[in-house]
Amino acid sequence: MYRRKKYFAKEYGISVRTVERKIDWIKRHADRYPADAVVHNGNIVFVREDVFEDVIVNENRIEAGLKPALKLV
C-alpha cells in the first residue's frame, strides 16, 4: 500500500524531513527497490509501505555492504 510522508512521520515518530531523507535514500538505491517504490503525483509523494519499512530496518546493514534479502509483497 502506498502512503504519504506525513503517515510515515507519525507512524515511526520521526520528522517529515527525516522521511524525505529516507525517500532520497530509496532513490539512490534504486537497484534494490522496484521502479514504483516512490510515486510522484504532482507535489504529492507516495511511498510503498513495505519499501519504507525495509529502509527503516535494514538501512545501516545495506550501507555496510551486508545486503539482507528483500521481502516485498
Alpha carbon distance, N-terminus to C-terminus of the chain: 10
Report residue 15's pLDDT band, with 50, 70 and 90 as the boundaries: very high
The helix (H) or strand (E) run that includes residue 36 is: none
Query: pTM here?
Result: 0.88
Using pLDDT thresholds of 50, 70 and 90, give the confidence band for residue 62: confident
Q: What is the CA radius of gyration of the chain?
A: 12
- CA pair distance 4, 70, nearest whole angstrom: 22
Q: In what order do the strands lie in the sheet with 44-48?
A: 2-4, 44-48, 38-41
